[in-house]
Amino acid sequence: MLRIQKSHLPYDFASVSKMMMHSREIKYREKIERGNASFQLLESGHVLGGAAVLVESENKRLFYTADINPRGSRMLREADLDFGEVDMVITESTYSQTNQMPRNESEEKFMEFAYEVLDRKGSLFVPAFSVERSQEIACVLKNAGFKHRVVMDGMAVKVNEIMLNYPEYLRDSKVFADSVHQAVWIKGEKERKGALSEPSVIISPAGMLVGGSAVFYLQNLAADKRNGIALVSYQGEGTPGRKLLDTGMVGMRGKEFKCEAEVRQFEFSGHADRNSLFEMMKKIKGNPKVLTVHGDKDSCTKFADEIHEKFGFDAYAPDAGETITV
């Protein structure tokens, strides 16, 4: 069985292998036709290979944002919103009621913290998601001309290798390659212990500190006031990362300890914030019905009301299981 979670999985390795045998790679903007319908995947700016979907059937056109970041990032191009008039839009609402700090300000504050920690001879630990966030932080450090040692560990290293094989999906493949290659890639326990031998910026999953090599670094760096911990990923309720942020406590070997390292949080979300979502809606052509999803109830319903007020579109937050006709 696949060791993804502790509980029993309804499929095994043979099932995954069979699925892969029947899968095919689809390029962005490649039209796939099935019966009287077709669809295309469009760049979403959210994560490498992430896609929004344009569906066409019976002279109707539907655009589904999925997770989207219209502005892109240092790694990824802007979302592709050049698809003409549509009859329906299904949009995420994750941060529809929240504006995040502008990315350039987040990067500046992150770099200030990095230099503060390194100047006092400490190490800066950056727990980050394996896919996109770890690499984005490496790009931020490279762009700032950071001269100290950078370390990347855990699944982020494997993801680096995969991303380097798909340069066509990156904003600038050379900048990306330079950014991740500036770092020391940790490949084993001995190298991991050696990463603590000198002040460094250490980027390692898991972003919410729920496991992975991040636990090793947290346990070894949290007790020293010279060190810093930069939380750059979303911290879900009930996770060690959320507990660290809210209480300053770290769980080690079955006991709770006060984290002496300085902890700060920075906004590096791959989702569109409120302003970006409204900028996206301004670019939508036609007079579509708009469905607001992927957010808590208030985010979805308030966003729908605001879309109707600002753009005149018929917009609402559908109920789970509801059938909608275009």
**Where do you find CATH 3.60.15.10 in the chain?**
27-98+271-316
Nearest to 103 by CA among 292, 238, 269, 252: 269
Beta strands 228-231 and 124-127 are parallel
What CATH number has the domain spanning 103-265?
A: 3.40.50.10890
Query: What is the length of the chain?
Result: 326
**Contact assessment for residue 52 and residue 41, using Cβ atoms and an 8 Å cutoff:** yes
**Where do you find CATH 3.40.50.10890 in the chain?**
103-265
CA–CA separation, 170 and 262 (whole Å) = 33
Q: pLDDT (tens digit, 0 to 9) for every residue of the chain, 326 residues total?
A: 445 555 678 889 999 999 999 999 999 999 999 999 999 999 999 999 999 999 999 999 999 999 999 999 999 999 999 999 999 999 999 999 999 999 999 999 999 999 999 999 999 999 999 999 999 999 999 999 999 999 999 999 999 999 999 999 999 999 999 999 999 999 999 999 999 999 999 999 999 999 889 999 999 999 999 999 999 998 988 999 999 999 999 988 788 999 999 999 999 999 999 999 999 999 999 999 999 999 988 999 999 999 999 999 999 999 989 999 88
CA–CA separation, 131 and 157 (whole Å) = 10
DSSP labels for 125-156? Answer: EEE--TTTHHHHHHHHHHHTT--S-EEE-THH
Q: Is the CA virtual torsion 133, 145, 77, 178 positive or negative?
A: negative
Using the 8-state DSSP alphabet, how is residue 21 labeled? H
Fold classification of 27-98+271-316 is Metallo-beta-lactamase; Chain A (3.60.15)
